[in-house]
Structure 1
Amino acid sequence: MKKITIGDVAKHANVSKSTVSQYLNKRYEYMSERTRERIAVSIEELDYRPNIVARSLKQKSTFTIGVIVANILHSFSTQIIRAIENKFHENGFHIIVCNADDEPDKEKDYIEMLMAKQVDGMIIFPTGGNMDLYNRMKKSKFPIVFMDRIIADSEIETVALDNEQAAKLAIDEFVESGYRDIAIVTTSIIRNISPRLERIQGYKNALEYHQIPINPAYIKTTDAGMISQALEELFSYEKPPEALLAANDIVLMAVLTYVKKQGLKIPEDLAVIGIDEVPFAVFYTPSLTTISQPTIEMANLAVTLLMQQIDQEEKGKPQVHRLQPTLIKRESC
């Protein structure tokens, strides 16, 4: 079977090869709608498939982006990945998704693999354990954007939530509803993962604002597999909390499991708010009050920042771009 070339498409559509090339690269400014339709029909009738390798060599681009998430189990991660994929698809790029499992060594392996595949850039939810590698990438002007987590002194464009404000929204809602004995539970802070630290700080700041004493025993940080034990300890106190802020969706799932196991009622026995909107929040009984992250806006901004670097249009000194959370009030508080 003869391989159909761009010249065959051009001849069939009665246009030049450069016009077909412009069409394939979505540069439609200088061609009429009728010309676009003719080329599209020719491509379909001839079953033409562009040579991606040749296109990459010619344009010095693989039209591929690497996305490395710290933990793909978070609903926030999957929502962001979906939004990033949609935005890059609009720009003619594909993505390769890697899950680092919060392990710096695994993250390093994925970065090196993606570099070997000559991706055009990366969006990384950084573990924070590969500073030398991050800095080398930046020094070599490799396009890179951090998502969700802030790495001090990295000078890399970063898109993140205003995490202190997220915690404040939750505490304000608890206090407005009459609660004062408020706990926060989050996953491990051993590697100083910024969203977790910032949410704890936001919790403390909000309690101080409302003139509520901070009880260190009400602040629990632990590995994901140990959350149930942390909750058992929390509720074994002589005066257990009457409200609890689950600092991410994994904690929220553990809290709901514990509540069911103990036969507790929400919000009668324990008021609950979770940071991160989850698909089941509206269907759970009672429906769950959550703090939502603007995932689509965060993804779109990250793509824009990365494309500016790819197109060598980076503007000014890299900075941390903070987006605002939203309280979704339901029945759990």
Structure 2
Amino acid sequence: MKKITITDVAKHAGVSKSTVSQYLNERYDYMGGETKARIEAAIKELNYSPNFLARSLKQKKTNTIGVIVANILHVFSTQIIRAIQDYCSERNFHVIACNADDDPRKEKQFIEMLQAKQVDGIIVFPTGANKSLYQTLIMTNYPTVFIDRMVSGVGIDTVLLDNEKASKLAIQTFLMQGYQRIAMISPPLLPNITPRMERTTGYKQTITENGLSLRPEYIANVETTNVRDHLRKMLALREPPDAMLALNDLVLVEILHYMKENQLQIPKDLAIIGIDDVTFASVYNPALTTIAQPAFAMGKKAAELLLEKISNITKRREGIVYRFEPKIMRRDSV
């Protein structure tokens, strides 16, 4: 069966090829409604499918971007992807999402794969371990935006939360409710994972600024699989914590599992605040107090910055950090 071409559509609609091309590229400024209707009808009647690959090669643009997340299991990551996709879809851009598992090797492979597919730019939750590759992206003017993490010495625009303030909000909330023995559990502290480092700093600073002793036994930086064991050890102390800050959503889930398994009551036995407003927070019993990241606003900002770079709308200094404000969602777990 003969493949239908743009020439066939033009003949069927009684217009020129250039007019059909303008229609396909949504350039309607000087196109009448009747002409648009004839072209649309011709496309449907002939079952014409545009050759996007040929068009992208001609225009040197694919209208596609890549998003590389560190761990797609985080609620924050999925919300970011959704926000980016929503913003890009409205502007006729497609999104390819990749999960790097916080593995520098996978991150490098994904960046190289996306470039090979000629995507117009990428948004990355960087591992921080591929600095030479990041510098190459800068040197070749390849549109790139970082999200959630900063990489020292790399001048790429970055979108992230005010993480220290997120911890500060949580600790202040505990203190206002009369809690004094406030503990914290986070995943392992790695220099390249900005949120963990900054949230831990925020916790320590707020504890000491309020005249409390910084007790090492109240701090655990452990793999998610070890959260329950460390919580058990904390609660077995002679002076166990009466409040707990979970530094992200995966840690929070493990804490909740432990509380349920051991028939402990929230907040009677342990008050809890988690950073990241998990989807079940308001329906959990008791409803969970959380510190919310404006994930959709952050994802939209990252997409906006990237598309500006792709379109060369802005000519400005790179390496700007865009901080977003956390918000406390007060519920019943404190």
Within 2, Cα distance between the matches of 1:254 and 1:175? 24
Q: Which moved more, 1:8-17 or 1:312-321?
A: 8-17
For residues 290-317 of structure 1, the C-alpha deviation after alignment (integer angstroms, 9 at most, x for no partner) is 1111111111111111111111234422
Shift of 1:33: 4.3
The residue aligned with 1:87 is: 87
Matched residue of 1:133: which SS?
A: helix
Mapping for residues 55-204 of structure 1, pairs under 5 Å:
55-204=55-204
Matched residue of 1:291: which SS?
A: strand
The residue aligned with 1:272 is: 272
**Structure 1 331/145 Cα, relative in aligned 2: closer, same or farther at 3 Å?**
same
Matched residue of 2:253: which SS?
A: helix
Matched residue of 2:180: which SS?
A: coil
Identity %: 52
What count of residue pairs does the alignment treat as equivalent? 333
**Structure 1 184/58 Cα, relative in aligned 2: closer, same or farther at 3 Å?**
same
Contact 1:246 1:275 in 2 (8 A): yes
Shift of 1:191: 4.1
TM-score (norm 1): 0.95
Amino acid at match of 1:241: P
Within 1, Cα distance between the matches of 2:45 and 2:20? 15
The residue aligned with 1:332 is: 333
For residues 247-292 of structure 1, the C-alpha deviation after alignment (integer angstroms, 9 at most, x for no partner) is 1000000010111112110111111111111111111101111111
Shift of 1:42: 2.7
Shift of 1:98: 1.2
Matched residue of 1:49: which SS?
A: coil
Contact 2:187 2:223 in 1 (8 A): yes
**Structure 1 314/222 Cα, relative in aligned 2: closer, same or farther at 3 Å?**
farther
Within 2, Cα distance between the matches of 1:315 and 1:259? 53
**Structure 1 15/190 Cα, relative in aligned 2: closer, same or farther at 3 Å?**
same
Contact 1:305 1:314 in 2 (8 A): no
TM-score (norm 2): 0.95
**Structure 1 182/27 Cα, relative in aligned 2: closer, same or farther at 3 Å?**
farther
Shift of 1:24: 1.8
Within 1, Cα distance between the matches of 2:172 and 2:16? 64
Matched residue of 2:159: which SS?
A: strand
Matched, 1:255 2:239: no
Within 2, Cα distance between the matches of 1:36 and 1:165? 53
Shift of 1:173: 1.3
Q: Which moved more, 1:271-280 or 1:2-11?
A: 2-11
The residue aligned with 1:245 is: 245
Task: Return 5+ residue gaps in structure 1 as ranges.
Answer: none
Q: Which moved more, 1:308-317 or 1:154-163?
A: 308-317
